[in-house]
Amino acid sequence: MPELEALYPGDSIKLSNYPLLKSIVQSGHSNIRGTIKFKDSLVYANTKYSTFSLPQNDSSHTLFECYRGGKRVSNFSSGEIAEKSSQLW
């Protein structure tokens, strides 16, 4: 659909032939602009229809690990990364 080429994630769909259409769900493996992948749509479904959920993030979870010669030399938690990024911005 040529109308989808100009859309970005979160943009609303406005098709003159389908005025009530809110989302297009696609089942392929490649990304198509303006659509939602079927597997991703399951995360947002009502819990009685799907058990999928977004993973929860805790600031103590390890986010990044550095290795040298096969040995871990350092690691950073998501809280540490968030703290450093807020100092940069």
pLDDT in tens, 42-81: 777 777 877 777 778 889 989 889 999 999 999 999 999 9
**pLDDT classification of 16: cutoffs 50, 70, 90:** confident
Per the structure block, which two tokens stand in for 18?
Answer: 């389908």
Q: How far apart are CA 77 and CA 63, in angstroms?
A: 5
**Site of tokens 């690990």:** 65
Domain locations in the chain?
Answer: 2-44, 57-89
Helices (H), 1-89: 38-41, 78-88
CA distance 75 to 67: 9
Under DSSP, is residue 84 helix (H, G, I), strand (E, B) or coil?
A: helix
For residue 33, the model assigns a pLDDT of 79
Instruction: Give the per-residue pLDDT at 10.
Output: 65
Angle at 56 between CA 72 and CA 36, to 5 degrees: 110
Length of the chain: 89
